[in-house]
Amino acid sequence: MSALEPFGTRLRHAMDERGPLCVGVDPHAALLSAWGLQDDIQGLETFTRTVVEALAESVAVFKPQSAFFERFGSRGIAVLEKAVEDLRAAGALVVMDAKRGDIGSTMAAYAETFLRKDSPLFSDALTVSPYLGYGSLKPAVDLARESGAGLFVLALTSNPEGAEVQRAVRTEDPAGRTVGATMLAHLAEENAGAAPMGSFGAVVGATLGDLSSFDLDINGPLLAPGIGAQGATAADLPRVFGAAVGNVVPNVSRGVLRHGPDAAGLRDAAARFADEVREAVAAA
């Protein structure tokens, strides 16, 4: 199969056309219960189908959390496969939130699962963990380039525990950069010369406050969890991301999904968040 147009190009177009928003698809037990569904495969299928049918034709990006499907075994994976297929058929982009990270042939196998064009779980991008060393991601980087897919590398995550690793200073680095800053620098190298935007992005929490000490200008997308239920708002984005705010892909999960199972409620919530982000970026 021929490669797709690069992920960064497709993402820029989708954000410009549909609005800069990523909706997380996180069918955890509490959310299924809030929708009046059982925490079983039937509840998972109903939840996922409702989200896809309500939002697939209007939202730019979806981020299914693989773990919430994997917990149901092979039948849960089948639901995930169907969701990926239907979302992409409707013109949306899929970022698989699997946070894979390993070395050698194992990393290559993870990459083939989500980034090989003929895989049933082929996604437009994959979240990956670089904390076995950025070089351990090479099989995923290479296959993403080959297939026209992208990666989102965990760089500055919003969970409090992340700081002990990501903000640690690398003593062997002459510049005294932190681990997180080093990951950003690697991504800037991957994206050098790409237009309108590179395909190798970073995960950077929208709840982290002032990040002016980090160079977020990686010429690639910044996947920003934390909008909505975690406390960040669209209005916070220019302050957190500065000049890079135009490349931010804010992720909202509960802030949209809590309005289900009503399809109109889901659509209205997603449209509202997208409009708020547009306004914040335009005012920056």
Which residues have a catalytic role annotated? 99
d(CA 269, CA 20): 14
Residues sharing a CB contact under 8 Å with residue 123, sequence separation 6 or more, in sequence order: 84, 94, 95, 96, 114, 115, 149
Query: Where does residue 264 rank: exposed (0-12), middle (13-18), buried (19+ CB within 10 A)?
Result: exposed
Q: What is the DSSP letter of 214?
A: S
| Contacts of range 189-193, beta carbons closer than 8 Å, 24 or more positions apart | 190/141, 190/220, 191/8, 191/218, 191/219, 191/220, 192/219
Long-range contacts from 211-216, C-beta under 8 angstroms, 24+ separation: 211/156, 211/240, 211/241, 211/242, 212/242, 214/156, 214/180, 214/181, 214/184, 215/181, 215/184, 215/185, 215/188, 216/184, 216/241, 216/242, 216/243, 216/244
Question: Contact 31/254 with Cβ under 8 angstroms?
Answer: yes
Give me the residue label for tokens 């410009």: 16
Name the helix (H) or strand (E) containing 95: strand 93-100
Q: Which residues contact 78 (CB under 8 A, 6 or more apart)?
A: none
